[in-house]
Chains A and B, each alone.
Chain A
Amino acid sequence: MKNKNTAFAWVLFALSSVLFGIGCATSENVEKSGKKVPFFGSIEIYRYVLPNGLKLLVLEDSASPTFAYQTWIRVGSRDEEVKYTGLAHLFEHMMFKGTKDLPEGKFDRLLEQSGAEGENAFTSRDYTAYVQELPKDKLELIAKLESDRMVNLVVNDQSFKTEREVVQNERRMRNENSPDGLMYQEIFGVAFQKHSYRWPVIGYEEDLNRMTAGDAEKFYKSHYAPNHATVVVVGDVKAHEVLKIVTKYYGHLAPTMLAEKEVPVEPVQTAPRLKVLKLNTQVQKLMVAYPVPPVVHSDTPALQVMRTVLTGGKSSRLYKALVDSGITTSFDTYDLDDKDPSILIFMGNLQKGRKATEAETVMLKTIEKFKKDPISAAELERAKNALQSQFYDSLTAPSERANFIGHYESVSNSFKTGVDIFHQIANVTATEVQSAAQKYLNANSRSVVMGVQKDAK
């Protein structure tokens, strides 16, 4: 199960732990090395790295006497092994169990009683995040609780088995009993043959059943450590005070060896792939995926504009070709924001009596035309305005700003990636959009999942 880079990573870590001796973890030292980085407008983010490797990002915003506190661990389903799919997400559930000093249930009760809001967690392909908002005087409480469960969690067999059953029920809800969930699961399974993005974040039933508390414990010790985490604080706080408190509670935590997973590179797809799913549905469904580069790639801004011209709004090309024409009731794309090369997914629900094959034909024809005919200046402006509007719309609340920062820090090592994409979109040309379509929307590299009625011929 262990990957081949383990030994090399150990050496690197040993060196780094000598250089960053734990005794140096004073907030004054860290503050001096910290820096202010522009976010958008006049807003700046304080960025610090503790000697033990913990990243801390703070955005001061006193609009309300509250703050969002998020802990992002750079581990997701991408980092799992075959036959252990879903472990990252299952472990996310386990993080709400007890620690050495805090019995099970106490974590939730302390936070709830202090007035916490939106206490939750989520796991993606690339990361796991723990989030909450609190009244401004509760910074010390949350830093203490989060730092405690980062290293002191107790994984016992009984609570593991119960939580595994909870996760099986979540899987039944999201995938097994949901036509859309099954489609989404399958499109990754069809588009990826080698890379770990091929399995669902929630995992397969049989893999979850196979897991033990010991596997969870091993996963915890491998991935949960300050040098694999980013703490994001947004709200009515002062950065130097946050740094002081975070240093107090996390500064003494020892970094651990973090094995860099050797994720297989997905081979280039040269022929289309198709899977037809018989579903408990009364209208057909279509998903089509094309390989796209990782979020840090220089083509990402042009790809964002491209997908917006195609599906962003009711005047977009594919909406007009498929929804306005009466073939589908919707037609959208999923965002592109993964750490590794991933897929851009087009998806639609068919109208009554219409077939997914028909929608795919129209979609391919529209895309081929799009690749040949230059887009107009009006279309380009429309897409840019929509993306600008969506960008601001995604940053209205402290928790949303923290999400943005945590996401890009986790998938690209810097929240600036997200800000840069936003700025670069303004300079994308019509030619670049068309080039992106020609480069990435290749019919031979598409993967298709069609959801049809169980009794369909």
Chain B
Amino acid sequence: MRNKLLGILPLITALGFTSSSYAVDTRFENDSSLPIVYLNVAVKGGAANDPAGKSGISNFVGEMMMRGTKTRTKAQIDEALDQLGASLNVETRAEALIFRGHVLSAKLAEYLEIVQDVITNPNFPEKEIRKLKSEVASELLESRGKDSTLGKIFWEGFLFEGHPYGKPILGKTKEIEGLKRSDLLTQYANLFQDRNLLVIGSGDAEASFISAWANRIGEKRPNGAGENPIRVSDAPKPPEKREVLFIDKPDRTQTQLYFGQVGLRFTDPGYFPVYLANHVFGGGSFSARLMTEVRAKRGWSYGAYSYFRHGIRPRSWQAYTFPATKDTPSAIALVDTMLRDFQAKGITEEEYQFSRDSLINSAGFSFNTPGKRVENLLLEKTLGLPDGFMKSYAENLAKTDRAGVNAAVKQFLRPDKMKVLILGTAKDLKSKVAESLKVSESEIKVVPYTKE
């Protein structure tokens, strides 16, 4: 089975990336199959680097950078980008801020000139700060209507209480309202230094052209005296006992349900064995245990998964499903039992062989297009992973054995100490949830869904 993957590798390594010798780390893959260029300008710092009391500032800075430079107003930037048929958007992660865009290759030079202006000359006009505050406040209100988004925000805040990974990307309304222009300038100065910058892209352009452009950005953003915000310094503390949080939202006919704990880093020794075991338990496969038991056999939910979220420090591992309200107590009890069973007994030989084959045989799909290779590089560079790490899955999975996988699962999972979050209607469910989890109702903390 592994030979198929080996068949994929030589072709892909033949396409190559270029790297800049200057301070801005630049990777660009030439791909002339379409007359279009994809560009990402990233800084290695994001929402986890938001200072205390200023949650959302990194995202806010990114958005504001496109709302006025020293030579262009917001309207001029918008018009210039639209004129080219180009896109430029900001994506904020816990440990990265990424300007993403694409442009027709015939318009690339004009596009780069605008992007350079946005990255190196933002002006943070007061009028636009006021407008953006109103938009963000409204988006935060709007997100309360989306149960999956809301559940995810509450889950991260609950699991990482007091840790930078718990900071909401968009921030909290009051903290956004309190941001001043001087705060934005400081955060910009901290984030946008050449040692933090990455330029990663692909498309119909010469790599040397992109590299020269990246160097010009680096020259304009030399390492300053500002604090280097890079790296979340401490790992989140694992929960010491099971805690249950109920997010109370009226009229729900379906709940959002999370069980989870602090995860593993990509480079931790136990990562690949647990990754393989997770594929058996709930890792996206239609044949996985959670999907089989919760969805296929019982029809309780449209989906049931378990997955890692990654960071420079160990981040999270969670099981997630969204059953009908009527089935939620049963689903909670079932998932809880399955987690304990998974930790105690591990996976069978048949499950091990199946997952190993599936993962190794499909590993090539994680880097079979220029777009996926760009995403891998962004992850590797922003999380400080070794070059080519994302291509090493098949090789690392092939080194596992079932006994090692089960030992790693036993050591890693802590079902008794997992945090549990339910977003649903408390009056319909609280007592039943307590019964399913075998805790008293007083041990379930209930907060309204409108609380930030």
Whether A associates with B in a native complex is yes
For residue A206, CB closer than 8 A to chain B, the reply is no
Contacts A177-B252, A280-B250, A326-B131; is A135 near B142 (CB within 8 Å)? no
Stretch binding the partner chain, chosen from A14-22, A167-175, A256-264, A334-342: A167-175
Residues on the B chain within 8 Å of A113, using CB: 354, 357-358, 361
Residues on the B chain within 8 Å of A315, using CB: 75, 78-79, 81-83
> In the bound complex, do residue B324 and residue A169 qualify as a contact, i.e. CB atoms below 8 Å apart?
yes
Residues on the A chain within 8 Å of B81, using CB: 313-315
> In the bound complex, do residue A314 and residue B82 qualify as a contact, i.e. CB atoms below 8 Å apart?
yes
Query: Which chain A residue shows the least CB distance to B254?
Result: A172
> In the bound complex, do residue A351 and residue B145 qualify as a contact, i.e. CB atoms below 8 Å apart?
no
> In the bound complex, do residue A169 and residue B322 qualify as a contact, i.e. CB atoms below 8 Å apart?
yes
For residue A166, CB closer than 8 A to chain B, the reply is yes
> In the bound complex, do residue A109 and residue B302 qualify as a contact, i.e. CB atoms below 8 Å apart?
no
Q: Mark B143-166, 1 if CB is under 8 A from A, else 0.
A: 011111000000000000000000
Contacts A113-B361, A117-B362; is A162 near B369 (CB within 8 Å)? no
Residues on the B chain within 8 Å of A398, using CB: 369
A-B contact pairs, 25 of them (CB 8 A): A41-B34, A65-B8, A108-B285, A115-B363, A115-B364, A118-B365, A135-B361, A135-B364, A169-B299, A172-B254, A280-B145, A282-B141, A282-B450, A315-B75, A315-B81, A320-B75, A329-B138, A329-B142, A378-B83, A382-B85, A385-B84, A385-B86, A385-B104, A389-B102, A396-B370
Q: How large is the interface on B (under 10, 10 to 19, 20 to 34, 35 or more residues)?
A: 35 or more
Residues on the B chain within 8 Å of A281, using CB: 142, 144-145
> In the bound complex, do residue B8 and residue A352 qualify as a contact, i.e. CB atoms below 8 Å apart?
no
For residue B390, CB closer than 8 A to chain A, the reply is no
Contacts A109-B287, A112-B286, A326-B131; is A162 near B7 (CB within 8 Å)? no
Residues in B lying within 8 Å of A, measured CB to CB: 1, 4, 7-8, 11-12, 33-36, 75, 78-79, 81-87, 102-104, 107, 131, 134-135, 137-139, 141-142, 144-148, 249-254, 285-287, 292, 295-302, 322-324, 354, 357-358, 360-365, 368-371, 450
Residues on the B chain within 8 Å of A116, using CB: 362
> In the bound complex, do residue A283 and residue B138 qualify as a contact, i.e. CB atoms below 8 Å apart?
yes
Q: Which of A75-134 contact B (CB under 8 A)?
A: 96, 105, 108-109, 112-119, 133
> In the bound complex, do residue B299 and residue A163 qualify as a contact, i.e. CB atoms below 8 Å apart?
yes
Report the bound CA distance from A135 to B9 in whole Å: 12
Residues on the B chain within 8 Å of A166, using CB: 295, 299, 301-302
Contacts A117-B365, A163-B299, A165-B299; is A393 near B138 (CB within 8 Å)? no
> In the bound complex, do residue A392 and residue B35 qualify as a contact, i.e. CB atoms below 8 Å apart?
yes
> In the bound complex, do residue A63 and residue B4 qualify as a contact, i.e. CB atoms below 8 Å apart?
no
> In the bound complex, do residue B254 and residue A176 qualify as a contact, i.e. CB atoms below 8 Å apart?
yes
> In the bound complex, do residue B369 and residue A112 qualify as a contact, i.e. CB atoms below 8 Å apart?
no
Report the bound CA distance from A108 to B292 in whole Å: 11
> In the bound complex, do residue A168 and residue B324 qualify as a contact, i.e. CB atoms below 8 Å apart?
yes
Q: How large is the interface on A (under 10, 10 to 19, 20 to 34, 35 or more residues)?
A: 35 or more
For residue A179, CB closer than 8 A to chain B, the reply is yes
> In the bound complex, do residue A112 and residue B287 qualify as a contact, i.e. CB atoms below 8 Å apart?
yes
A228 CB to nearest B CB, Å: 26
Report the bound CA distance from A321 to B24 in whole Å: 39
B327 CB to nearest A CB, Å: 8
Partner of A280, one of B249, B285, B363: B249
A226 CB to nearest B CB, Å: 26
> In the bound complex, do residue B364 and residue A66 qualify as a contact, i.e. CB atoms below 8 Å apart?
yes
Residues on the B chain within 8 Å of A161, using CB: 299
Residues on the A chain within 8 Å of B298, using CB: 162, 165
Query: Which chain A residue shows the least CB distance to B367?
Result: A64
> In the bound complex, do residue B145 and residue A282 qualify as a contact, i.e. CB atoms below 8 Å apart?
yes
B296 CB to nearest A CB, Å: 7
B438 CB to nearest A CB, Å: 26
> In the bound complex, do residue B323 and residue A385 qualify as a contact, i.e. CB atoms below 8 Å apart?
no
> In the bound complex, do residue B296 and residue A105 qualify as a contact, i.e. CB atoms below 8 Å apart?
yes
Residues on the A chain within 8 Å of B145, using CB: 178-180, 279-283
For residue A7, CB closer than 8 A to chain B, the reply is no
Query: Which chain A residue shows the least CB distance to B298?
Result: A162
> In the bound complex, do residue B251 and residue A178 qualify as a contact, i.e. CB atoms below 8 Å apart?
no
Residues on the A chain within 8 Å of B368, using CB: 64, 66
Partner of A396, one of B104, B301, B371: B371
Report the bound CA distance from A164 to B295 in whole Å: 11
